[in-house]
Amino acid sequence: MHVDRLYHADGYLHLIETLRNWDISLFAGVTGGGVIHFTKHLSPYPGNPSEGSDHLSRFFNVGEYVAGFVPLGYYLASGKLAAAVATTGAATKLLGCGLTDAKLHNIPAVYIVPISANSAVGFAPLQDSSIFGMNILRQLEAECPNSTFVLTGDAHDTENLQKAYALLVRHQPVVLVLDPAGLSRKFLQNLAVTTPLEAQQMGTLHKPLPLHKLRNKRVVIFVGSGMPATAKSRRLTTELARLLQAPVLYSINGANSVERDNPFLYGHIGFGGNDAAQSVWKSIDEKTILIALGADFDEYTTGVKPVFCKEAWIFGNDCSRYGMVDSSWRHWIQGTCLEITGPLEPLVANLIDAVSADPPDAVPMLPAPASLNGGAMAVAREGFVDLGRFYETIDGLWRSNSIGFDDICMAYKDRQYVTQRPNIHCPFFSLYRGSAMGSALGLGIGARLGAPEKTVFVFTGDGCFRLVAGTLAEARSLGINLFVLNNSIYGIVRNGLLKILPEEPVERYHDDLIMLDYAAIAAGYGWDYLSVDPDLRNLPDVIERCYQTGKPSLLIELRVDPEQNLGPNPRVENL
Ligand SMILES: Cc1ncc(C[n+]2csc(CCOP(=O)(O)OP(=O)(O)O)c2C)c(N)n1
């Protein structure tokens, strides 16, 4: 608490102190009429990210669409919470795209938006958020029914904030809706600060598992993003796979919870999936037991229909993951379904102990082949950067303490197809469930703000770039490395439509993009600029520059072939 400000304390300051108590000190967004009395209590963000880690609550000024993704990148890079802030009207809607992905990917984040004053309802207030205008509270409650809280400056706030914190602990985003009339009241005394609840440990660790059922059955291990991305999780997964001699398949983000030298890694399934993994997945049958660890069941991973197997053992860390219905994964499984809920690492350690003590005689599989893809990869035409070679080369150039984000472009499909196994130096994430083009820049900004010691890489398409380019100025001194895959087209759309609408003339695909001058754009926004040579000769130098500290952010252009299509896109079968 800043004692000198106590006498000016209002509900807004109370809220900021409460969030501070939850270790939230970074707020990203844009000010405006409805939030000026909130943002006035925040210190500006300093030019250099490493100066931002002090005792102050800071405001990072960046356009709302990008700001909505900042807390997500912040959390993925640091494990810490952050908030996004916007005023009424369009601002709230722009911020909401990040909120959607926070919900769909179970990433805890705080969204702070105001509503019009009650006294103005019916009197056409600017950016009318009331039921006569955009009716924003109902919109937010429709998307986040149990996690939207109106703060009115009265006694209920404490209870609501306690509930909000409990949801954050369970990896859910929360929306704090500011009622200006109540919160601007002075709080000269009893400035109660909400203290965090302890993280709830749910479920039981010692439930006996019916190990005998594995006898003479094939076991397939499936790792999702619910499995912690820790060294311990990775080691446990390897140990389990070795003991059971079972193939390990993983989702796009679940790949961060397995280790490259696990000999049983068969690859990614679904979008950008590897051939070896896809063939194991397709062969799951009534003689297979599926062991899912922090499962990701969704269209891009497992498809839009139930998985047919003898039995699925689904280990999860809570009952509120996106994809569950009525707190259960049951509807995803056509077969017997056993759900075990609790802290995942102790649960998997228990399973390992049980299997070691009483080996179940499951049907063993061979370790995976060196290459997890079958046929030859598509190559780029002369004069373009070949993305297959590019992803392979760059995979050998990552240094420790890096983090990467793939935008909603060919990269979020092709990278994992080419690299096959995760790289310990550079975990990659993509928010593929909301698939909001342009999400990756906000994630990269959040990652730099949350973990300034990490080197951040963002891969975006020239279409995605258009949604966020205006915010490059605010990111110029963050030292972000932004790869723009320039193919002058909505490439993933083109490649999909060639299969979905082969009869239609390509001009009906509406996928052309005007070529931009990225060197000039970078210069205009105060970024450095490099381009990767088609023969990749300068790639080591480019990466060397990426790791230099104290430099402006770097835009790296790759001229890529719109016809080079690498990873599979199973979604085309659903359209
Ligand atoms: C905001 C938004 N608009 C539209 C889409 C549909 N969409 C998904 S990917 C894509 C094209 C991406 O193009 P680009 O960024 O150029 O990357 P490329 O596919 O060429 O690698 C489109 C239009 C979306 N996911 N999000």
Q: Please give the backbone phi and psi of residue 404, each rounded to the nearest 5 degrees, phi first.
A: -130, 155
- How far, in Å, from the CA of 459 to the mean position of ligand 1? 13
Residue-averaged pLDDT of the chain: 93
Is 202 a residue whose pLDDT tops 60?
A: no
Ligand 1, atom nearest to 464 Cα: 15
Digit-coded pLDDT (tens) for 452-470: 999 999 999 999 999 999 9
User: Looking at the domain assignment, is residue 510 inside a domain?
Assistant: yes
CA distance 59 to 44: 5
Q: What is the pLDDT of residue 113?
A: 98
Q: What is the pLDDT of residue 187?
A: 55
Q: In CATH, what number is assigned to the domain containing residue 308?
A: 3.40.50.1220
Q: How does DSSP assign 294-307, residue by residue?
A: S---STTTT-SSPE
Digit-coded pLDDT (tens) for 67-84: 999 999 999 999 999 999
Q: Are residues 173 and 316 in the same domain?
A: no
Ligand 1, atom nearest to 490 Cα: 13
Is 189 a residue whose pLDDT tops 60?
A: no
If one counts the domains in the chain, the total is: 3
Q: What is the pLDDT of residue 1?
A: 43
- How far, in Å, from the CA of 21 to the mean position of ligand 1? 39
Yes or no: say if 288 and 219 are a contact pair by the CB < 8 Å rule.
yes
Is 154 a residue whose pLDDT tops 90?
A: no
- How far, in Å, from the CA of 414 to the mean position of ligand 1? 14
Burial of 282 (0-12, 13-18, 19+ CB in 10 A): exposed
Q: What is the pLDDT of residue 194?
A: 62
Q: Are residues 317 and 418 in the same domain?
A: no
Helix (H, G, I), strand (E, B) or coil at 514: coil
Q: Are residues 280 and 249 in the same domain?
A: yes
Q: Are residues 46 and 159 in the same domain?
A: yes
Q: Are residues 267 and 229 in the same domain?
A: yes
Q: Where are the alpha helices (DSSP H) in 486-533?
A: 491-500, 518-525
Q: Are residues 248 and 298 in the same domain?
A: yes
Q: Are residues 167 and 248 in the same domain?
A: no
Beta bridge partners of 481: 457, 554
User: Looking at the domain assignment, is residue 372 inside a domain?
Assistant: no
How much of the chain, in percent, has pLDDT values that exceed 70? 94
As given in the structure block, the two tokens for residue 108 are: 């805890």
CA distance 109 to 66: 14
Q: Are residues 21 and 67 in the same domain?
A: yes
Yes or no: say if 306 and 331 are a contact pair by the CB < 8 Å rule.
yes
Range of the domain at 510: 387-574
Q: Are residues 186 and 61 in the same domain?
A: yes
Helix (H, G, I), strand (E, B) or coil at 40: coil
Q: What is the pLDDT of residue 209?
A: 87
How many other CB atoms are found less than 10 A from the CB of residue 432? 26
- How far, in Å, from the CA of 490 to the mean position of ligand 1? 6
CA distance 184 to 186: 6
CA distance 266 to 279: 9
Q: In CATH, what number is assigned to the domain containing residue 99?
A: 3.40.50.970
As given in the structure block, the two tokens for residue 254 are: 């679940």
Yes or no: say if 323 and 301 are a contact pair by the CB < 8 Å rule.
no
Q: Are residues 227 and 320 in the same domain?
A: yes
Q: What share of the chain is helix, strand, coil (3-state, %, to 5)?
A: 35, 20, 45
Domain-terminating residue out of 164, 195, 226: 195
Q: What is the pLDDT of residue 197?
A: 54
Pocket test of ligand 1: the residue of 390, 485, 493 to mutate, having most ligand atoms within 8 Å of its CB, is 493
Q: Are residues 7 and 85 in the same domain?
A: yes
- How far, in Å, from the CA of 299 to the mean position of ligand 1? 17
Ligand 1, atom nearest to 411 Cα: 21
Residue nearest to atom 13 of ligand 1 (CA): 490
Q: Which residues line ligand 1 (CB under 6 A)?
A: 408-410, 435-437, 461-464, 485, 487, 489-493
